[in-house]
Every structure is written in structure tokens, then in C-alpha cells.
Amino acid sequence: MRKCRFIALLLAVCLMLPAASLAQSQVTYQVFVRAFADSDGDGVGDLIGLAQKLDYIHDLGADSLWLMPIFPSPSYHGYDVTDYRAINSDYGSMEDFQTLLDKAHGLGMRVLLDVPLNHTSLQHPWFTEHPEYYVWADETTPGVNLDAKVWGSKVWKPRDRRYYYALFWEGMPDLNYEQPAVRRKAIDIARYWLAMGVDGFRLDAVSHIYAQAEYGATQDPERSAEWWREFRAALKVDYPDCLLLGEAWEALSMRATLLTGLDAVVNFDVGEQVMGLIKRGGSGKVFVQSLEKIYAAYAQANPDSIDAPFLTNHDQARAYGVLGSKVERAKMAASMLLTLPGNAILYYGEEIGMNGAKPDEEIRTPMLWGGDDPLQTSWHASKYNKATLPLSEQIGDPASLYEHYKALVAQRAEHPALQNGTLAWYGVGNDVLASYALTCPEETLLVIHNFTAEEQKTDFGVLPPYSSLIQPMK
Ligand code: CA
């Protein structure tokens, strides 16, 4: 009897493992391979260059990598894929990818691939060989408005007396998920990379799978979520620990709906709110209460889900410039980001205060290694980073932004409450500040951020401008 009970207990613990391990990726480092490290001297970042810089990322403390698309593509960014089972020749070979994957795993890091499955490249062979994989209409299609516009552009693009649906750009036709073959292909692609050892995916445009722009809406979240639940179930049966991180630049209710088929959705609200507070001021209490509302909606949609906060990503002006190119503000934003629960994401170069604004190329410029680093890329000449201190000039300087990030990531690694604690607003006698408790089975921490340029009094003492107090609570 006792043995049975022990086995039952063991089983229960094992069943709990997949959800627990998802949260183990406490900091994810987002890399644009083209801009990161060049091993063969052509100026273009590649997988072997990245493998040679993994020690840097590991040393910073990130335990997970998000690689922006590495598949063959006619564009520099790669979000328009022509072959989902191969490596972009600019970046190297499949063997190079395996080398990178093995080295990452050897360092205990997980590798997430960015897979755009909402659309392909117009040049993907499917477009001519299997036009039925895409969304088509003509003048006779009932209910369709061929002049419908989203974000200022017509979504129906003319082709051979018909029109194909392309939400983002004419070079990226949307796939038609009404087609069982498309659904099967998408699952097969994911399983192909999981079988190779990949640990999960960053999934592009998850809210747009069922597009309805022709009817005046850009997406159908319920049906898109239904698809992601099917996708997730098909992968988790053999790969229960794989992480599915969705991109949904959408309102909270839609993000929560989509989360029913994902493990996490990137949290666009957090960065915007953090940077807004630092720049313009506001109520820290309102900020913390909005976080509570987000986490409650997420937990209700998917109790095993985790948050994925970040400051800015490859589609947004870089945090440093948004914060007025002031290092004390950039440090404050990092402190606020890295004391929130979930899988925090750092966009490469954020840790050294790289700067950039639209067009997109200027947000994706070469990582600045400095010191005549042989792996320096030169794929794009940045106009925003002339004053940015390269990494080589920040390492070892305790006052540098880089060392601040590194210390924050180390602090996060030491405290399970910072990684996956339950957050609750906690009054400290000053509602200007962001103050909260983080509770997990191991500990409860009190976190207070003074994101203002003035000294602030609290029940726990005076906080200098742009400073944080983190201490255990009894
Ligand atoms: Ca190269």
C-alpha cells in the first residue's frame, strides 16, 4: 500500500514537471542573427559566429535564446520564408545550426526558433504548386470587399484575375488554415525542428491566423486560438516541455483568448507602461494594479501560462532612445523589467544601450562588440549608435548599463520569487512608487521602485531617485 502511494506521489510530481520547467527560462535573449556575430568575414552575422558568442550570452545570465527567423528568405529580416526546413545560406548550414544547438544545450540554454506560420514568402514554392494553401477571392466571392484596407493598405492583392489575401505586405501571402493540408504542414514543420532538439518556438502574428479583414476586422481570435490549441496538443504529446511563445500585439482580452493555445504571449503592455512611468511619471500603484489584472486574465485563460515581459523588440524604437538616451533611466527600466515574474525577454544590444528607431533596419543594427572584435558584423551602418559605448568599454565598469543588467539577471536567478512569484500590490505609504510583494513557496519579496527623478519617502525608508529596494518579507 505504502509503495503504491509513493508511486502515485512520484507520478503526481512527474506530471507537474512540464509546467514547472516552462518557467525555468527566466531570461530569454532575442537575437537577430544577421546583426550579431560574423565568423567568416563577410560582414553578415551567422550561426557559427553566434555559437562563438554564446558564452557572452550565458555569462550575461540568459538561459534561453530566441533566434529571429533563420530560414531561407528573399528579405534581410527573414519573416517571409521560402523553405521551413532549411537554413538561410547567409547564416550557414544545417550542420552549423546543430553545432549552435549542441553548444547552447551544453551551456544549459534553450533555443527557441521564430517561425512565421501565418504567411509565407510569395516566392515559397507552395504559392504556385499549391495555390489552395492561400486565401483567394474575386468579384464574385460573397461578402468580400476587395477594397478593404488594414493599416492603410489594401489586403487583397491582384494576381491572374483573382486576388490573394496578404495582411502585412504583398510579398507575404497569408496561409489558409481552413485547409487541413496547411494545418498538417504547420504541425509537421514544428515537429521537424523539435525532433532535431529545438526547445520551442516564438510564433509570429498568432492573432492573424484567421484573418477577416475583408469583413472589416483583422482577425478572429476565437478561431485562431482553436488552431493554436490543435497545434499545441499535436506538439506536446511528444514534447511536453516545448515552449510556445506567441506574438500578439493586441488587447488583453484577445491575448488571453490566444493564450488558451499557447504557453506565453509577449507582453507589449509592460514595456510601454514602464517606459511611460519613467519618462512622464504617473502612479506606480495604477501600474501594479494593471499587472494584477493582466496576470489574472492570463491565469484564468491558461493556469499553466507564464508572462513574457520585455521593454522593446525588433519592431519598436529601442528602449534607450525612447527613454531620452539617459543611462539612469535605462537602468531603471531594466530594474523594473527584471523584477517581474515570467520569461523576461532582452532584445540583443539593449543591455549596452543600443539605440535605433524606424525604419526597421535601424532597430536591427550590428551588435556593438568594440575592441576590434573579429566577429563584429557590418550588415547595416547605424546612424543612431555613434555615441553608444560598445560592450568592450562597459564590461568591468560597475557603473555601466551592461554590468547593471548582468547584476539584475544574477539577482533574478537567485530568487525564485522574481522568476515565478505571485504578484500583489503592497502599500508602502507612497502610491507614486511601484510597490508589490512577490510570493512563491520558497520566499516572499517586497519590491519597491522609485522611477522618479526625486527622492521618495516610504514606510521602508527613503529611496533615492531611480532606485529600487528589494528585500525579503517576513
Ligand atoms: Ca558571415
- Ligand 1 centre to CA of 247 (Å) is 28
For 83, the 3-state DSSP assignment is coil
149 strand-pairing partners: 154
Which listed residue (90, 204, 263, 351) is catalytic?
204
Q: How far apart are CA 470 and CA 461, in angstroms?
A: 12
- Ligand 1 centre to CA of 41 (Å) is 6
Give me the tens of pLDDT residue by residue for the chain, a chain 474 residues long: 344 444 444 443 333 333 334 445 689 999 999 999 999 999 999 999 999 999 999 999 999 999 999 999 999 999 999 999 999 999 999 999 999 999 999 999 999 999 999 999 999 999 999 999 999 999 998 888 889 888 888 999 999 999 999 999 999 999 999 999 999 999 999 999 999 999 999 999 999 998 765 455 556 888 999 999 999 999 999 999 999 999 999 899 999 999 999 999 999 999 999 999 999 999 999 999 999 999 999 999 999 999 999 999 999 999 999 999 999 999 999 999 999 999 999 999 999 999 999 999 999 999 999 999 999 999 999 999 999 999 999 999 999 999 999 999 999 999 999 999 999 999 999 999 999 999 999 999 999 999 999 999 999 999 999 999 999 997
- Nearest Cα residue to 29 out of 63, 53, 56: 63
Going by C-beta distance under 8 Å and a sequence separation of 6 or more, which residues neighbour residue 290? Answer: 269, 273
- Nearest Cα residue to 40 out of 101, 89, 98, 113: 89
CA distances for 395 relative to 404, 407, 409, angstroms: 10, 12, 15
- Ligand 1 centre to CA of 158 (Å) is 37
- Ligand 1 centre to CA of 31 (Å) is 15
Which pLDDT score is estimated for 274?
98
Which pLDDT score is estimated for 15?
39
Q: Is 226 a catalytic residue?
A: no
End-to-end CA distance of the chain: give it in Å, rounded. 40
Q: Is 204 a catalytic residue?
A: yes
Distance of CA 211 to the CA centre of its chain: 22
- Ligand 1 centre to CA of 111 (Å) is 20
User: Is the entire prediction scored with pTM above 0.75?
Assistant: yes
Which listed residue (80, 114, 174, 247) is catalytic?
247
Torsion angle of C-alpha atoms 112, 113, 114, 119, degrees rounded to 10: -140
